[in-house]
Structure 1
């Protein structure tokens, strides 16, 4: 039985609960889904849509973008179709040269914050007002999380602008949230010495490696993840330096460091002493410098392990609780108080000089305050 005898309008076909329309465009037969149901009213509407499409094609006014708007669920790949936010975000993410942990973080932000509202939107249709509405509708856990989400969205849209899909980045009209900067809270030199001595005295057996670990942290300023990832092959006791080229992130070795720039850190006598202690405790074939495990391929995966011994020492000595990361700040401030060259300190820490000056301005000033006052 033909279509006419079934009462279907020309170019309309019903497939189960779906209704499609058929026509020829650019020399190809097309069959596209419609939002209509196979009822009398739905079939009539589909027939009207089909007639309108054929008339637009006949008049030569059907464009790629118009086709995409009329048939958003089409399988037809338009050569010049403007991508949706979801499509472009996936392309953007795939093109990034980043480690798995960073990729997972980006993906979680995109899927958790922006995809629910923007995934099917053409990327050039997204406006600043749209973004403001989304931001206002979310109960953010902290200003930092909100800013991080905005930064990722801005990166995606900035790339879309460079690729010619958008004329401007709608995030540019939205000011970047300012966050209170975490205060640097270093230990006094005397406190650092007491912590190290207490650990060497209290820890026995293989756990004494943690005393050497913190002596090394206090007197090199290396990041905790960099110290835990340090291998014997990167230690030169003769040249008094170590090569910093990897870190541990969430228990996994990552073959890069935070600033993505490898560096050599020069070792003072105290750092060399820590290396000597670690060397005396190292088992045959040990790969990593600071580890309690025997054999190759073992590292301290979590900072909770070192934290346990560190906090126990602070409690034992009655020293105010601070983070392990403050060992790094302690090294930086000790160097500054000793009037060492700022460029040298910045290189040791893996900072830019500008970052060093902004982070430790208080201690830089304090080294010269009394000298300046004496000029009066």
Structure 2
């Protein structure tokens, strides 16, 4: 039942319960017998309308700060969920991450947590799950588009889509559990700019191998001619180098200070050693092979794994500057290897297996312009067909 109370400021307010929640609405009326009588009459009407189910909160308190909360409670009532224990997005995130622990590699889990903690929790963490609606999702995405990194760069559409995909997975998981309608209906992904690989040509590869610091020459040869990812080659141990079969066995990775399983199952593979790689690893064995089968193939002077960031800053960048070669990430050694294999005429299926791809789809999507005429359509096959049949013009 609604009651009339007095604030320390001598203003009157109404104290009442609606939809199992307590509300206090302050008025502009001073504490007096006449004003109390006026509010008592209003409170009586308010109680009656709540009982009859005709109460309109906004009609009584149009400027109230509780209107959003009331709208949420009324929506819950209409859905038969009044009184449900609905979590905040922070609570839903915690539950979702806990459930995903068994599915993800440690490094992937850390990456996801970093994105969530940086972009999702600060803006949305305190919102109740069923209070996060479609307009809230669109507003959040707009905020991501306006975000600037410490260096002043905006987030790419690909990054924004990735964050939104994570948020969608978190929210829809909670929606299923609490029987809510997803707020992501008809929210499309932003258009992403297609990126193009920038491999080094063979002359650049040769120059880089000759220029690099001598203790990193075998490392660079192996990267350029096996297509191994940074985490794969930095975690390579001698027990995974089979000189007899001329194979490198990719079984684990090293990144962010942790050894763990490869990126995915197809990444577990055997890479055939070309002669340059075989000779480079034999030379490297003389340097680090004494550490035993569990020892790292490539490591620091202290026997610790090569740090990818340290290699980039202290070896890779100075080398490119010295050779006046346009900067590309070390990952481009992988792209370079793929294009060299394909351009030399190696079968796409074999190339895909060597790179650790599940199929050739990515090869033709990313490296199509480097595939030779045997497997790539560029018009020359049609020209040869016309020439073989003596057709040199178009029949009118």
From the superposition, tell whether residues 197 and 126 of structure 1 become closer, same or farther in structure 2 (CA, over 3 Å).
same
The answer on whether the counterparts of 1:293 and 1:299 sit within 8 Å (CA) in structure 2 is no
Q: CA deviation at 1:69?
A: 4.5
Q: Is the 8 A contact 2:342 2:348 kept in 1?
A: yes
Q: Deviations over 1:197-245 (max 9, x none)?
A: 333xxx4xxxx33100000001101112211111112221112212223
Structure 2 distance, partners of 1:113, 1:181, is: 24
Following the alignment from structure 1 to structure 2, what is the Cα–Cα distance between the partners of residues 360 and 132?
A: 35
Paired residues of 1:245 and 1:256 also in contact (CA < 8 A): yes
Q: State how many pairs are aligned.
A: 334
Question: Secondary structure in 2 aligned to 1:300?
Answer: coil
Offset of 1:370 from its aligned partner? 7.5
The CA deviation at 1:175 is 1.3
Q: Which residue of 2 aligns with 1:177?
A: 190
The aligned counterpart of 2:205 is: 192
SS of residue matched to 1:248: strand
Q: Which residue pairs with 1:147 in the alignment?
A: 161
Deviation (angstroms), 1:153: 0.9
SS at structure 1 position matched to 2:285 = helix
User: What's the CA shift for 1:125?
Assistant: 3.9
- Shift in Å at residue 261 of structure 1? 4.0
Structure 1 residues 257-272: aligned runs within 5 Å: 257-264=262-269, 265-272=271-278
Where structure 1 has 5 or more consecutive residues not aligned to the other structure, the ranges are: 1-8, 13-20, 24-29, 57-65, 71-77
| Aligned counterpart in structure 2 of residue 94 of structure 1, from 98, 105, 112 | 98
Q: CA deviation at 1:307?
A: 4.9
8 Å Cα contact 1:256/1:262 also seen in 2: no
The residue matched to 1:177 in structure 2 has which SS?
A: coil
The TM-score normalised by the length of structure 1 is: 0.72
Query: Which position in structure 2 is the counterpart of 1:18?
Result: none
Query: Are 2:105 and 2:261, in contact at CA under 8 Å, matched by a contact in 1?
Result: no
**TM-score, reference length from structure 2:** 0.69
Residue from 346, 360, 368 that aligns with 1:353: 360
Is it true that 1:256 corresponds to 2:256 in the alignment? no
State how far apart, in whole Å, the 2-side matches of 1:153 and 1:232 are: 42
Aligned with 2:306 (options 293, 300, 307): 300
For residues 55-101 of structure 1, the C-alpha deviation after alignment (integer angstroms, 9 at most, x for no partner) is: 98xxxxxxxxx9x949xxxxxxx995333333222211111133444
Contact 1:209 1:291 in 2 (8 A): no
Alpha-carbon offset, residue 150 of structure 1:
0.8
Give the equivalent residue in structure 2 for 1:73: none
Secondary structure, counterpart of 1:255 in structure 2? strand
**Partners of 1:247 and 1:316 in 2: CA distance:** 30
